[in-house]
């Protein structure tokens, strides 16, 4: 039986640095009970009671050690232990974001905690906001996350927000791209003939290999594509040296950019003209074949109408 306190302690104590990411759906806090020498067993119990009494249906711990997880069992509060894995960050975030999405979709109120509410957990949550499509612009996702955290994010947090959504966008883009250019091979043909195979996929007719990609009706109007198939073009507002450093740290990004599967335009804020009515004085366009950023000098765009030559 879970512990039932009386009086003013019956509802427990709010965890330290408790912050809503999605109001009444997804929140973060530091480790219940405190971090290091400040950790107190009684406070840990009271904070877990508060989570239970406030309707949280699942706690996700990203700290490395499994210490004190048994306390969630004692309070009959479901939990999942997902230690942060920096060595395989892309795969880790994909799995974690998928779990959070599924929990929220089922109406479960979720709390994610690390040892402390630092840039790591804030960056992970900012990445989720972008990955889930709640905010389309990665720069805006960083700004929203910084407002939630009440401070500027460190390079790790900003990098997490930028990289995770880009990879997901590339998956979606490639699925539509290949399903359009050759629907019979890379798509799944007409869905009129599809038969569901268990819960793992579809086949054509009564006997075929499992089909991959999207059905013809999704991407084609007869034989004409609804949209011209194009590879993903990403636009990032940041100094090109910083963007290059991030790509150098991620082999997956190197594969995507170096081989031309994803295009990149870097809007370098250091090149602004100083006139608020004029756009960037130049941008940098990433090319394949080893990846390098080439400077392109378009005419300045005057938002008041017309163009202003350099």
Write out the H or E segment, with its range, that includes residue 232: strand 232-237
Phi, psi of 301, deg, nearest 5: -95, 120
Dihedrals phi, psi of 27, to nearest 5 degrees = -140, 165
* Predicted model pTM: 0.57
pLDDT of residue 294: 54
What pLDDT is stored for residue 111 in this prediction? 95
Quick one: DSSP state of residue 250? -
Contact 90, 164 (CB under 8 A): yes
Q: What is the Cα–Cα distance from 144 to 129, expressed in whole angstroms?
A: 9
Q: What secondary structure does DSSP assign to 289-302, as a single string?
A: TTTEEEEE-PPEEB
Which of 79, 80, 5, 77 is closest to 43 using CA atoms? 5
Looking at 87-239, list the stretches that DSSP marks H as alpha helix, in order from N- to C-terminal side.
Answer: 89-105, 119-131, 138-149, 155-181, 183-186, 216-219
Across the chain, which has 310 residues, the per-10-residue mean pLDDT values are 52 87 91 77 88 94 86 91 88 91 95 88 85 74 74 71 76 91 92 88 89 92 91 79 80 84 78 49 52 50 41
* Residue whose C-alpha is closest to residue 42's, from 34, 53, 52: 34
- Whether domain 7-167 has CATH 3.90.950.20: the reply is no
Q: How many CB atoms lie within 10 A of CB 93?
A: 22
**What's residue 146's pLDDT?**
75
Among the listed residues 18, 4, 27, 25, the one whose alpha carbon sits nearest the alpha carbon of residue 75:
4
Q: What are the boundaries of each domain within the chain?
A: 7-167, 182-225, 231-308
């Amino acid at each position: 039986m879970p512990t039932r306190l009386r009086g003013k302690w019956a509802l427990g104590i709010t965890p330290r640095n408790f912050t809503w990411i999605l109001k009444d759906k997804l929140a973060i806090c530091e480790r219940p009970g405190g971090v290091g020498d400040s950790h107190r067993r009684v406070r840990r119990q009271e904070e877990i009671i508060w989570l239970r009494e406030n309707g949280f249906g699942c706690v996700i711990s990203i700290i490395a050690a499994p210490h004190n997880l048994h306390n969630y069992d004692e309070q009959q509060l479901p939990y999942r232990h997902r230690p942060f894995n920096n060595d395989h960050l892309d795969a880790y975030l994909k799995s974690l974001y998928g779990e959070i999405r599924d929990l929220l979709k089922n109406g479960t109120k979720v709390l994610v905690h690390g040892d402390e509410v630092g840039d790591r957990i804030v960056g992970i949550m900012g990445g989720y906001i972008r990955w889930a499509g709640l905010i389309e612009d990665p720069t805006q996702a960083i700004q929203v996350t910084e407002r939630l955290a009440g401070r500027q994010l460190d390079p790790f947090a900003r990098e997490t927000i930028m990289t995770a959504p880009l990879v997901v966008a590339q998956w979606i883009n490639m699925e539509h791209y290949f399903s359009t250019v050759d629907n019979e091979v890379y798509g799944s043909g007409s869905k009129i003939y599809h038969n569901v195979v268990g819960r793992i996929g579809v086949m054509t007719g009564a006997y075929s290999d499992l089909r991959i990609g999207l059905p013809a009706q999704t991407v084609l109007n007869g034989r004409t594509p609804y949209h011209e198939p194009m590879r993903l073009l990403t636009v990032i507002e940041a100094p090109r040296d910083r963007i290059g450093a991030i790509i150098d740290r991620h082999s997956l990004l190197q594969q995507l950019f170096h081989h031309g599967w994803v295009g990149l335009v870097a809007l370098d804020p250091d090149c602004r003209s100083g006139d608020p009515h004029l756009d960037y004085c130049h941008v940098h366009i990433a090319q394949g074949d080893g990846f390098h950023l080439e400077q392109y000098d378009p005419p300045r765009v005057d938002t008041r109408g017309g163009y202003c030559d350099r």
